[in-house]
């Protein structure tokens, strides 16, 4: 089929590759405009734009699907649009441009975790299973009929970043199969059923560790925000970034946020038992092993994270 592909970050690349490998013709790629990256704020194309340019595909760069963008999409003549993490809503006036509509690959088992950050919320919430769904876009937020699903177990050490990478690849195959079925006229969407939960985009404040929470909740939050916005706490008035932690149920009674060194392990108290820091990033420095950072502390036993 003739396909418009809409996507922006690296997580969308496996789907673009899978659709081309399945023999679909990508008539145009819709992605967000170039954005400033790095300390020098160099204008850089999105991961999808860069790959599309390498492949010689026509690229439409737009922050939203306005009348001009809609006209460019219509001019490309797609039979269907496939959308994976484009980063903006498709307005109602553009939904009918492809005759077969817009098929979205969403990284949850709908209607669970509708919204911009489904994988992060699933990890923070402590879900044991997640997955991906393909569905037909309609006016509501992630409310359309579902074409297909696949499931993925969430392990106790999974981060949202690692889980999203797995889902991006397995979900890409689901998207290709969905478009194959639609093109053959053999696939019909099924209305969503079950309890609805929402997964709004996470803010920087969502990444702040709350040391008064139980250790399990601290662990889940840190793993859940690993993709973005990242886990952090405050130390001496500066933001201090954290990688995933290890559970230390053998260490009890350490006050929330207080640091303790134990046989080389860097422990921090929570609302229940302690957790062990593994990788940390002090303000103005690169990520390093927590043990290396702790060796440079002057008053180790008086260090308290806020």
The pLDDT of residue 227 is 83
* Confidence label for 39 from pLDDT (cuts 50, 70 and 90): confident
| Cis peptide bond N-terminal to 229, omega within 30 | yes
- Domains in the chain with CATH codes: 2-183 (3.40.50.170), 204-302 (3.10.25.10)
Burial of 125 (0-12, 13-18, 19+ CB in 10 A): middle
DSSP-assigned letters across all residues of 37-56: ETTTTEEE--HHHHHHHHHT
Distance, CA of 132 to CA of 52 (rounded, Å): 24
Q: What angle do CA 163, 251, 257 make, to 5 degrees?
A: 70
Distance, CA of 270 to CA of 2 (rounded, Å): 54
**Residue in the block written with tokens 């990242």:** 230
| Alpha carbon 28 to its chain's center | 24
- Is residue 131 a contact partner of residue 185, using CB atoms and an 8 Å limit? no
Given a cut of 90, whether residue 184 has pLDDT beyond it is yes
**Residue in the block written with tokens 């997640």:** 130
Q: What is the mean pLDDT of residues 260-288?
A: 94
Strand order in the sheet with 274-277: 246-248, 274-277, 265-268, 259-262
pLDDT in tens, 97-146: 999 999 999 999 999 999 999 999 999 999 999 999 999 999 999 999 99
Q: What is the mean pLDDT of residues 157-164?
A: 96
The pLDDT of residue 295 is 87
Distance, CA of 168 to CA of 161 (rounded, Å): 11
* Confidence label for 300 from pLDDT (cuts 50, 70 and 90): low
- Is residue 106 a contact partner of residue 191, using CB atoms and an 8 Å limit? no
pTM here is 0.94
């Amino acid at each position: 089929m003739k396909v418009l592909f809409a996507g922006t970050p690296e997580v969308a690349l496996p789907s673009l590759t899978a659709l081309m490998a399945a023999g679909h013709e990508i008539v145009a790629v819709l992605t967000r405009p170039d954005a400033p990256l790095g300390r020098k704020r160099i204008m850089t194309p999105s991961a999808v734009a860069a790959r599309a340019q390498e492949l010689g595909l026509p690229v439409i760069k737009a922050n939203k699907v306005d009348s001009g963008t809609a006209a460019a999409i219509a001019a490309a003549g797609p039979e269907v649009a496939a959308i994976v993490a484009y980063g903006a809503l498709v307005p109602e006036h553009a939904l009918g441009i492809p005759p077969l509509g817009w098929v979205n690959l969403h990284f949850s088992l709908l209607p669970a975790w509708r919204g911009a950050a489904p994988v992060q919320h699933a990890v923070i919430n402590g879900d044991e299973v997640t997955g991906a769904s393909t569905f037909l876009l309609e006016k509501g937020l992630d409310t359309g009929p579902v074409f297909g699903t696949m499931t993925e177990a969430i392990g106790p050490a999974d981060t949202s970043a690692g889980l999203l990478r797995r889902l991006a690849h397995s979900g890409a195959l689901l998207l290709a199969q969905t478009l194959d079925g639609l093109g053959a006229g053999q696939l019909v969407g099924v209305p969503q059923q079950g309890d609805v939960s929402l997964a709004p985009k996470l803010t920087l404040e969502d990444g702040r560790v709350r040391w008064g929470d139980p250790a399990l909740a601290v662990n889940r939050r840190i793993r859940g925000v690993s993709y973005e916005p990242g886990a952090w706490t405050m130390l001496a008035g500066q933001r201090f970034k954290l990688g995933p932690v290890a559970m230390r149920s053998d260490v009890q009674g350490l006050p929330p946020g207080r640091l303790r060194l134990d046989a080389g392990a860097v422990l921090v108290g929570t609302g229940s038992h302690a957790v062990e820091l593994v990788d940390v990033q002090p303000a103005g420095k690169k990520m390093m092993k927590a043990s290396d950072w702790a060796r440079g502390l002057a008053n180790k036993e008086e260090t308290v994270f806020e």
